[in-house]
Amino acid sequence: MDLYAFINRMPYEGETLASNQYFESPGGKALNQAVTVARMGKSVSLIGKIGRDAYGAEIIEKLISEGIRVDHISTNSNTHTGNSFVLIDGQGNNTIITNLGANQCLSIKDVNDSLTVAKNASVALIQLEMPSNVRKHLIRQLNKLGIKIVLNLAPIVELPIKIRRLVDILIVNEIEAEQLTGTIVHDSNTAEKAANILGEQGNQNVVITLGSNGAVVKEDNSVYVVDAPKVKVVDSTGAGDCFCGSLGSFLLENDIKTAVEKAVKVAALSVTKSGTLYSIPSQREVYTYLNEKGRLFK
């Protein structure tokens, strides 16, 4: 559950500020990405864990209303549903503190049980807010099934390079790319350098997101830049999740380059509205937006 506070500026250390607006909304990386997939018109199942509390019940209700399968979302009675405190300033920048809660209780048994639905999937879009041994087991099992694995490694967590090599596409932002490579990423040139290092580590397909500057893509031996359309930023929270979810959707029917080009535009559209779930566009909104801008969405 995301708890949003809109403020004029970020507080200084030890300072108390009053917010201009507050609201709560179901969220979390996996949920945001699953909702994006569903709104892009694709069939999606979400696998994870919630606490036995009001937040958990509201999350399940929201997922069902979005047409997302929840067969493999289980409940842990001993901890709370994961939540995040989200601060958003007057320029649309955000700072987030995440409390993992029930996500940290996802087990190998939960993963194994979910493989019944995973066997019918073409793409597995994964995040790793779960115990270390479960992360490794999950990636190994998906790899054995031959499912295309798209890993959004955000935030950076402990994961051996030999396991990371098993994923088909690695998605990170500038900060995460720096943490993995030691290269400071601040523009497309430094992102290309980081992408090549990740390639040397064994990730042949890499996407480094650069916010308003689009993304740098390493696909096999080629590296290229995908520009993002210029928009008025209202709230950037969840833009990365919107990008990942739409990329996973478009990979079902497109090559990596085309999928990234489309996903960058969907993510740009998402930052023009407030709130993570509220800002994720529908397939119709994407068509309308891009047609109005003279870029027919095919």
Question: Does the annotation flag 129 for ligand binding?
Answer: yes
The helix (run of H) or strand (run of E) holding residue 114 is helix 108-118
pLDDT of residue 292: 66
Q: Which helix (H) or strand (E) holds 94?
A: strand 94-99
Please indicate if the annotation marks 190 as binding a ligand: no
Nearest Cα neighbor of 192 from 203, 207, 202 is 207
In the CATH scheme, what is the homologous superfamily, with its name and number, of domain 2-167+228-292? Answer: Ribokinase (3.40.1190.20)
- Under DSSP, the state recorded for 77 is T
Instruction: Just list the catalytic residues.
Output: 241
How far is 233 from 235, CA to CA, in rounded Å?
6
Query: In a structure prediction context, what are the per-residue pLDDT tens digits for the chain, which is 298 residues long?
Result: 999 999 999 999 999 999 999 999 999 899 999 999 999 999 999 999 999 999 999 999 999 999 999 999 999 999 999 999 999 999 888 888 989 999 999 999 999 999 999 899 999 999 999 999 999 999 999 999 999 999 999 989 999 999 999 999 999 999 999 999 999 999 999 999 999 999 999 999 999 999 989 999 999 989 999 999 888 888 888 899 999 999 999 999 999 999 999 999 999 999 988 878 889 999 988 888 767 665 544 4
* Count, residues in the chain: 298
234-243 burial code (b ≥16 CB/10 A, e <16): bbbbbbbbbb
Q: What is the domain partition of the chain in residue ranges?
A: 2-167+228-292
Can you name the residues that pair with 87 across neighbouring β-strands? 5, 95
The reply to whether 213 sits in an annotated binding site is yes
Q: Which residues contact 113 (CB under 8 A, 6 or more apart)?
A: 72
Rg (CA), the chain: 18
Is 235 labelled as part of a ligand binding site? Answer: yes
Alpha helices in 14-82 (DSSP H): 29-39, 54-65
How many CB atoms lie under 10 A from the CB of residue 182? 9
> What DSSP character marks residue 130?
S
Asked if 150 and 248 count as a contact pair (C-beta separation under 8 A), the reply is yes
Q: Which residues pair with 202 in a beta bridge?
A: none
273 has binding-site annotation: yes
Please tell me the distance from the alpha carbon of residue 180 to that of residue 236, in angstroms, as a whole number: 23
237 assigned to a ligand binding site: yes
Q: Is 79 annotated as a binding residue?
A: no
> Do the beta carbons of residue 166 and residue 184 sit within 8 Å?
no
Which CA distances in Å does 289 have to 48, 232, 250? Answer: 33, 14, 17
